[in-house]
């Protein structure tokens, strides 16, 4: 019988604000990642890393790899390997601001973004409406298993400066 761990999750904290804001951060990140892997029935022994860093670092990564010169809440970099799934990167300032503006706990918002990022590593996407709906349903299900309410149900619309076409939710 195999004794391989369900997953190896390396958590790298590269911004002091992350440690200060949430002392139980590693446990919340690990729990969310494992819940996503379990829900997707990922085999034992896989690895992934989660980098908790600054907006500046995420901005550079976003500009380099996606051509978008701005920070975002979460980025995922699939490794394309059956054992090493890839990297999930979160930007402290963006994540903290989003949680505050939505009236959500930082811990729950981080958990949601880790689940979201891991699902991206596993091939989920939200470029098309049908994909977005499938991914959101899976996120909601995984988060419910963690005791976290639907992150999309309570989303208040952001104040608009000008009318813009609707494109679906971006996380």
Statement: residue 167 has pLDDT above 60: no
- Is 61 a domain residue? yes
Give the pTM.
0.85
- Is 109 a domain residue? yes
Whether 22 and 107 have beta carbons less than 8 Å apart is answered as yes
Domain at 29, CATH number: 3.40.390.30
Statement: residue 116 has pLDDT above 60: yes
Into how many domains does the chain fold?
1
Q: Which domain holds residue 106?
A: 7-145
- Is 100 a domain residue? yes
Of residues 162 and 53, the one with the higher pLDDT is 53
């Amino acid at each position: 019988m195999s004794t391989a761990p369900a997953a190896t999750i390396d958590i790298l904290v590269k911004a002091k604000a992350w440690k200060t804001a949430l002392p139980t951060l590693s446990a919340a990140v690990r729990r969310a990642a494992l819940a996503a892997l379990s829900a997707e029935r990922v085999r034992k022994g896989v690895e992934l890393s989660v980098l908790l860093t600054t907006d500046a670092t995420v901005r550079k990564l976003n500009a380099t790899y996606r051509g978008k010169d701005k920070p975002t809440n979460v980025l995922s970099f699939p490794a394309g390997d059956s054992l090493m799934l890839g990297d999930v990167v979160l930007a402290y300032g963006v994540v903290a601001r989003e949680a505050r503006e939505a009236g959500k706990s930082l811990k729950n918002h981080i958990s949601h973004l880790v689940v979201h990022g891991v699902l991206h590593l596993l091939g989920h996407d939200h470029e098309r409406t049908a994909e977005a709906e499938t991914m959101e349903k899976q996120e909601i299900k995984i988060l419910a298993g963690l005791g976290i309410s639907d992150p999309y149900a309570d989303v208040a619309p952001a104040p608009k400066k000008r009318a813009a076409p609707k494109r679906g939710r971006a996380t």
